[in-house]
Structure 1
Amino acid sequence: MLLPEAVEALSALAHGHRLAVFRLLVRAGADGVPAGEIARELGVLPNTLSSHLTILGHAGLIQSRREGRSVIYSADYDGMRDLLGFLVADCCDGRPEICAPLAEVAQSCFTPT
């Protein structure tokens, strides 16, 4: 990921509702969530949600698919990994103990609770 894409992704997440949408979609996994359910869950008006979803989509953080009459949104995990990789690419200056907590957080994604 290059700096302009990272700035766009971070800017997209720098809003309370968009961050809440992204976190909801990350929790939902690959199945995703219909737009109407996102709006109800977060208490956001549908037209406002549409704007937020567009911004997150342009930033490469979410994707959508049509299922019948519904649009299902899900996190774009490749985009999320690219952003996280960009943020820690130059981490630690040869001191892995600094980044060890980040590895533990990432590992917790794969460990059932």
Structure 2
Amino acid sequence: METKTAVAALGALAHETRLDIFRLLVRAGAGGLAVGKIAEALGVEANGRLSFHLKELVGAGLASARQEGRFIYYATDYAAMNELLHYLTEDCCGGQPCGESIETCNPEQCA
């Protein structure tokens, strides 16, 4: 991962609402959630503000959107998430063991 890509991803997560959305999508699994369900879970209105935050996550490569009929579903891009985690921890402790291992998320386990 390039530093520029990591900065964009971290920038997208550096907002309370977007971080809440991202964590919700991670828990939702590979199928993702419809916008209405995201709004309901967060206790917010399904309006332009929520759409803005979702588009920021998609633009940063951390989530994807797909349309099914009248609904738009958003889901975590687990490969991008794992790549970011790896980028942040690849030189952990100078290559020496440093305690608990960092597990990456397997989308198969999240489904």
**TM bracket (short chain):** 0.7 to 0.9
How many angstroms does 1:91 deviate by? 1.3
Partner of 1:72: 73
Partner of 1:8: 8
TM-score by length of 2: 0.87
**Cα distance between partner residues in 1 of 2:36 and 2:95:** 47
**Cα distance between partner residues in 2 of 1:87 and 1:2:** 11
Kindly provide the amino acid, as one letter, of the partner of residue 37 in structure 2. Answer: E
How many angstroms does 1:19 deviate by? 0.3
1:44-83 aligned at under 5 Å gives the runs 44-45=44-45, 46-83=47-84
Partner of 2:19: 19
Asked whether the equivalents of residues 82 and 104 of structure 2 are also in contact (C-alpha less than 8 Å), the reply is no
**Cα distance between partner residues in 2 of 1:20 and 1:107:** 19
Kindly provide the amino acid, as one letter, of the partner of residue 28 in structure 1. Answer: A
Identity fraction in percent: 48
Q: Which has the higher contact order (CA 8 A, sep 6+)?
A: 2
Kindly provide the amino acid, as one letter, of the partner of residue 63 in structure 1. Answer: S
C-alpha RMSD of matched pairs (Å): 1.9
Kindly provide the amino acid, as one letter, of the partner of residue 91 in structure 2. Answer: D
Given the superposition, is the C-alpha separation of residues 107 and 15 from structure 1 closer, same or farther in structure 2, using an over 3 Å criterion?
A: closer
Number of equivalent positions:
107
Runs of 4 or more off by more than 3 Å in structure 1? 107-111
Alignment deviations for residues 38-61 of structure 1 (CA, whole Å, 9 cap, x no partner): 012112332111000011001000
How many angstroms does 1:108 deviate by? 8.5
Runs of at least 5 residues in structure 2 that lack an aligned partner in the other structure = none
**Cα distance between partner residues in 1 of 2:105 and 2:85:** 15
Partner of 1:101: 100
How many angstroms does 1:34 deviate by? 0.1
1:83-98 aligned at under 5 Å gives the runs 83-96=84-97, 98=98
